[in-house]
A and B are shown apart, each in its own frame.
Chain A
Amino acid sequence: MNIASRFNVLPDDRQTVQFTLDGEIVTAKQGISLAAALLAQSGTASRQTVNGAGRTAFCMMGVCFDCMVNVDGVPNTQACMVTVRDGMRVTRQIGLRPLEGSNDV
Chain B
Amino acid sequence: MSECDLVIIGAGPAGMAAAQTAAQGGLSVVVLDEQPRAGGQIYRNVGENRSKHAWLGKDYSAGAHMVDGLDHPKITTHFGATVWRLEQGHRVVWSQNGISHITSTPHVFLAGGAQERPLPFPGWTLPGVMPAGAAQILMKTAGMLPKDAVLAGSGPLLYLIAAQMIDAGTPPKALVETQTPRMMLNAIPHLPRAVFGLSIMIKGLGLIRKIQRAGVPRYKSASGFNAAANTDGSIAFSFTHKGRNKTLNTDLVLTHQGVIPSTHISRSTGVTHRWNAAQVAFEPTTDIWGETNVSGLHVAGDGAGIGGAQAAAAAGQLAALNILHKHGRLSADARTQKATSARATLFRARAIRPFLDAAYAPPAEVLSPPDETIVCRCEEKTAGEIRQGIDEGVTGHRQIKTSLRTGMGPCQGRMCDATVRGILIASAGPNADPIAPPRARTPIKPVTLGELAAMAAGPDQSS
The residues of A with any CB-CB pair to B shorter than 8 Å are 1-3, 5-10, 12, 29, 31-33, 36-37, 39-40, 43-45, 49-51, 53-66, 68, 76, 81, 83, 100
Contact = CB atoms under 8 A, between A and B. Distances in A.
A58 B130 contact: yes
Contacts of B141: 32-33, 36
A15 B233 CA distance: 30
A9 B128 contact: no
Given A6-B252, A36-B144, A61-B115, A83 B36 contact: yes
Given A31-B48, A43-B127, A6 B147 contact: yes
Contacts of B168: 10
B307 interface: no
Contact of A58 (B53, B131, B149): B131
A9 B143 contact: yes
Given A43-B251, A61-B134, A64-B415, A10 B127 contact: no
In terms of DSSP, what is the predominant structure of the interface of chain B?
loop
B137 A62 contact: no
B80 interface: yes
Interface of B: 34-36, 41, 48, 53, 80, 82, 115-116, 125-128, 130-131, 133-135, 137-138, 141-147, 149, 168, 170, 229, 231-234, 251-252, 262, 377-378, 380, 409-411, 414-415, 446, 448
Nearest to A49: B380
Contacts of B41: 61
A60 B137 contact: yes
A43 B233 CA distance: 8
B145 A8 contact: yes
Nearest to B234: A3
A7 B130 CA distance: 12
A100 B411 CA distance: 19
Contacts of A53: 125, 380
Contacts of B82: 62
A73 to B, nearest CB: 13
B309 to A, nearest CB: 16
A10 B251 contact: no
Given A6-B128, A83-B36, A61 B142 contact: no
In terms of DSSP, what is the predominant structure of the interface of chain A?
loop
A39 B53 CA distance: 20
B282 to A, nearest CB: 16
B36 A66 contact: no
A27 to B, nearest CB: 13
Contact of A40 (B144, B233, B380): B144
Given A63-B415, A66-B125, A81-B34, 12 more contacts: A1-B231, A8-B145, A10-B143, A33-B142, A36-B141, A36-B142, A36-B144, A40-B142, A54-B126, A60-B133, A60-B134, A60-B138
Nearest to B262: A63
A9 B232 contact: no
B410 A68 contact: yes
Given A43-B128, A61-B115, A7 B414 contact: no
15 contacts: A1-B229, A3-B233, A36-B141, A36-B142, A44-B127, A50-B380, A53-B125, A56-B130, A59-B130, A62-B82, A63-B115, A63-B411, A65-B410, A68-B410, A81-B35
B232 A3 contact: yes
A36 B142 CA distance: 7
